[in-house]
Amino acid sequence: MDKVAIVTGAGQGIGRAIATELAKAGSIIVIVDINPRGGEETAKMVISSGGHAFFAQGDCSKGNEVKQISEAVQKRYGGIHFLVNNAGISPKGAGGKRLRIQDITEEEWERVFNLNLKGVFNWCKWVLPVMIEQGFGKIVNISSIAGITGGYPGPSGAHYAASKAGVICLTKTLAREAAPFKITVNTVAPGRVETEMSDQTDREVNEATKKQIPLGRFARPEEIAKGVLYFLSDAADFITGETLIIDGGRVMD
C-alpha cells in the first residue's frame, strides 16, 4: 500500500506545496483544512497531476473533529503513515504591522494557541497511537524561526512566536515518547515564505525583512515542502527531535 499522509492547513501556501510534493513522491494525500474552497482546490491539483487525494474539512483546534477525521482515514486506508501539522495563523495589526502584546486580546491569544499549538497536540494525540499499532510512522510539525527568535525583528506577534516555540518543545517531548516505537517526530522552522500570509504583512516590513536575509529573498513554499519530504524519507530514519531551519541564513547560531 502507498503511504498515507495527512497534511493539515493544506488549502493554500506551504500546506498546499507539501501536499503536492508528497503526492509526487507517491503518497496518498489527506488534505485537512477549515476552508472547503482551498482544500478542494488542492485536492483537484493533486488529482489532476496523477496523484491520489481527498479533502476532509475540519478545525484542527477541535479534538472531536480531529478524532473523527483520523478514524475515517484509518477506516478508509487501514493506516496513517505520515502526519504533517502545518495549519496555523499569524494575525497582524493595522496595515499588516506587528501586534504589540498590549494590543493582543485574550480571545486572540487563545485563538492562536488553539490552532498553532493545540492543533498539533490534537492530531498527535489521535494519530500517534495508530502509528504505534502499525509499527511505523513519521510526524513533521511546522514551527517558525519566530519560535526561536521571539519574532523580532519581523512582524510576528508574541502569541504567534510563543505558540511556535511551543511546537518545537512539544516535538522534542513527542520524539522521546515515540522513539521506542521507531517513530520519528521532527520540526521544520521556516523563515519568511512567499505565501498569502506574508502578503498580509506591511510592504515596508517585508522589504526590511528581506534585507536581513543573506540570500536576499523569501523562501518559496516548495522549498519548505522539500525539507518536510526529507524528514519523511528513508534518509532521515535516524533523525528525531530535531528542528530544521529553512530561512535563507537569517538565523545563524
Tell me the per-residue pLDDT of 89-130, one tens digit each, with 9 for 90 and over. 988 777 667 788 999 999 999 999 999 999 999 999 999 999
152 catalytic per annotation: no
Q: Is pLDDT above 80 for 5?
A: yes
Domain range 4-244, its CATH number among 3.40.50.720, 3.40.50.1100, 1.20.120.1200, 1.20.1250.20: 3.40.50.720
Burial of 36 (0-12, 13-18, 19+ CB in 10 A): exposed
Alpha carbon of 17 to those of 8, 24, 194, 212, 215: distances in Å? 12, 11, 12, 25, 21
Predicted pLDDT at 153? 62
| pTM of this prediction exceeds 0.95 | no
pLDDT band at 209 (very low <50, low <70, confident <90, very high): confident
Q: Which of 77, 152, 160, 230 is catalytic?
A: 160
Query: Domain-by-domain residue ranges, the chain?
Result: 4-244
Give 140-191 pLDDT, tens digit per residue. 999 999 999 998 766 779 999 999 999 999 999 999 999 999 999 999 999 9
**Angle between helical axes of 118-134 and 106-116 (0-180°, round to 10):** 20
